[in-house]
A and B are shown apart, each in its own frame.
Chain A
Amino acid sequence: MASIRITGRRVDGFTLINTIIMLFICFITIYPVWYAVVLSFNDGNDAMMGGVYWWPRVFSIESYRAMFSHQGILRAFGVSLFRTVVGTVTHILFTAMVAYAFLQRHLTGRKLYMTLGVITMFFNGGLIPTFLLIKNLGLIDNLLVYILPSMFNFFHLIIFQAFFREIPKSLEESAMIDGMNSFGIFSRIILPLSMPVIATIALFQGVWHWNDFFFGIIYVNEMDLQPVATYLYRVIAQNQSSQMMVNMPAAISRSAVTSQSIKMATMVAATFPIVLVYPFLQKYFVKGLLVGSIKG
């Protein structure tokens, strides 16, 4: 095979073409996202003339200022933050606790509990019966709808259990001799040792909470209780023009902001937290995903 020399190393044709393909894939992956970032930092009216591709032509942060001075959006971000933090923490504590309990051989009823759980992985009531349940529980237009129905997940339980099994039994035994009960062992010994699996599940669940817009559409009618993803859904997919352009504070120069540029700024702000976090958790979630796929 023909080979050329790049920076002193021999590179054959295959590697060269393969590297180009990989760079191309990276480009088409990043560029659409980058384009949104560029538009969000470009003067809104200037962007409407077109031709802004790589870098903001007329740099402006007015769209962000407009966004963050808008009560509705701030509240939506607040709801997103609330459901992501509270929803993820309760999900982890609850699912991990049940996972630990269901794992104990001497637990009476263990077989029944596990069987009931496995069934939920294959069957569910579907959209309408679930909706009726939520309605009957009084969770419509209630912030708890973001927490309770997603507090537990049997797939995640299996990932937790696979991790717990690797923890040496001797640790639990010596704690038991010291008179600690199951809950003490779980909270003081098992949980602190489980940070890798907690990081994995926290990422999965946190991303789901932050990105989910469907709960906000189906279970919440009150705008004030909807997360930013649902807000974006209304603006983007249903083309409802935002209230933002109407009651904008005078301090923001209207000429620099369009509904499009605010939309972009909101999208970028709504994506930023996740993009910041996931690369650092990569080695954890790859492992967690594998355990989940082997067992599931």
Chain B
Amino acid sequence: MLKQESLLTRLSRQKALQAMAIPGLIWMIVFNYIPMYGVIIAFKEYRVINTIGNAPWVGLTHFREIFRDTDFFLTMKNTLGISLLKLLIGFPLPIVFALLLNEIRTIRFKRWVQTVSYLPHFLSWVVLGGIMIPWLSETGFINELLTKINPGREAVPFLGRPEGFWMLSVLSDTWKEMGWGAIIYLAAMSGIPPELYEAAVVDGANRFHKMRYVTLPCIAGTITILLILAISGILNTNFEQMLVLNNPLNNDASNVIDLYVYRTGIRGLRFSYSTAVGLFKALIALVLLMGANGLSKKYQGRSLF
């Protein structure tokens, strides 16, 4: 039969199926699309007494304010500083770790190291903070250790000052996520055909040659994709980490955009302004993603979309 069934007959025939699909649609509309619509308060003057609909429009007022806001520029600087350091240290380390772990031939030892390396990923930032904060205090473990090596030095409250905070946040984040970040690379490495290594050995390659000329080129695609994602996420600092490690003494180096949005919005009740800051941040992130993707397409022939 070629007769087109009406929409209603089709829907009634798949009642059970639609009853499974529509709740998903409703959930997305409520929890994803209503907040997206709510972004319009960035162009309005929303106060607690208003609804999103009846708040007065103010155009780009809040966005102009962003450019006059010295606090915003400070948080932008901290966000970029931490992210760039992370790109420099936190991005390559999982690759190096995966390369080295891939060279371990004892399967049980390899698996054991991998299991251990995932451990910090499953720790809450609160727990990590509970370990780090006393360790890094003036009388803490790290100062104790450094003073043992160099008895003349003065104890430093590492988290009680802005200096060095960027590095601390990057190192602790790398500590937490290195093993987890290596999973994808290790999987990519396990997919490399052994013939490639055998051929390399015939050509006289040693271990380093094999790593450099077989393994690395074979995972280059994976590296590129993850690099594009890392670049597009450059304005996302680790919010939970910052909530835990930020304090009034290191605030000059640890106040990042996400923290600023949270504080001005939820605590300062400047809903419209902080939404504008968040939207501005999302716009820059989109531009960065497009840019990184475009560059990769041009020079590497690989891209995300």
A binds B: yes
Which residue in B17, B130, B135, B275 is a CB contact (below 8 Å) of A236? B130
Least distance between A42 CB and chain B CB atoms (Å): 14
**Contact flag A127-B278 (CB < 8 Å), given A207-B122, A237-B126:** yes
Chain B CB within 8 A of A82 CB: no
Q: Mark A92-135, 1 if CB is under 8 A from B, else 0.
A: 00100110111010111110010011011001111111111100
Which residue in B115, B122, B183, B258 is a CB contact (below 8 Å) of A274? B122
Tell me which residues across on chain A come within 8 A of B118, comparing CB atoms. 278, 282
Alpha-carbon gap, A266 to B182, bound state (A) = 30
The secondary-structure label for the interface of chain B is helix
Chain B CB within 8 A of A50 CB: yes
> Please, which residue of chain A has its CB at the minimum distance from the CB of B25?
A113
Alpha-carbon gap, A109 to B39, bound state (A) = 27
**Contact flag A126-B127 (CB < 8 Å), given A29-B179, A30-B119, A290-B187:** no
Does B16 lie within 8 Å of A181, measured CB to CB?
Answer: yes
Does A98 lie within 8 Å of B23, measured CB to CB?
Answer: yes
Does A124 lie within 8 Å of B240, measured CB to CB?
Answer: no
| Complex interface: stretch among B82-90, B160-168, B261-269 | B261-269
Alpha-carbon gap, A108 to B17, bound state (A) = 9
| Complex interface: stretch among A16-24, A55-63, A247-255 | A16-24
* Number of CB contacts from chain A to chain B under 8 A: 243
Tell me which residues across on chain A come within 8 A of B24, comparing CB atoms. 94, 97-98, 101-102, 113, 117, 152, 157
Tell me which residues across on chain B come within 8 A of A32, comparing CB atoms. 131-132, 135
Interface residues of B in 93-116 (CB under 8 A from A): 97, 100-101, 103-105, 109, 113-116
Does B25 lie within 8 Å of A267, measured CB to CB?
Answer: no
Which residue in A102, A126, A293 is a CB contact (below 8 Å) of B35? A126
Alpha-carbon gap, A148 to B265, bound state (A) = 23
Alpha-carbon gap, A184 to B141, bound state (A) = 59
**Contact flag A14-B35 (CB < 8 Å), given A22-B101, A25-B113, A128-B274:** no
Tell me which residues across on chain B come within 8 A of A232, comparing CB atoms. 124, 126-127, 130
The secondary-structure label for the interface of chain A is helix
Does A33 lie within 8 Å of B275, measured CB to CB?
Answer: no
Does A36 lie within 8 Å of B187, measured CB to CB?
Answer: no
Does A125 lie within 8 Å of B20, measured CB to CB?
Answer: no
Which residue in A152, A279, A293 is a CB contact (below 8 Å) of B28? A152
Tell me which residues across on chain A come within 8 A of B35, comparing CB atoms. 124-126, 129-130, 132-133
Chain A CB within 8 A of B21 CB: yes
Alpha-carbon gap, A155 to B183, bound state (A) = 18
Q: Mark B31-63, 1 if CB is under 8 A from A, else 0.
A: 111111111010000000000100000000000
Chain A CB within 8 A of B120 CB: yes
Which residue in A183, A263, A293 is a CB contact (below 8 Å) of B130? A263
**Contact flag A127-B261 (CB < 8 Å), given A102-B24, A151-B27, A233-B243:** yes
**Contact flag A270-B124 (CB < 8 Å), given A98-B24, A109-B21:** yes
Tell me which residues across on chain A come within 8 A of B240, comparing CB atoms. 213-214
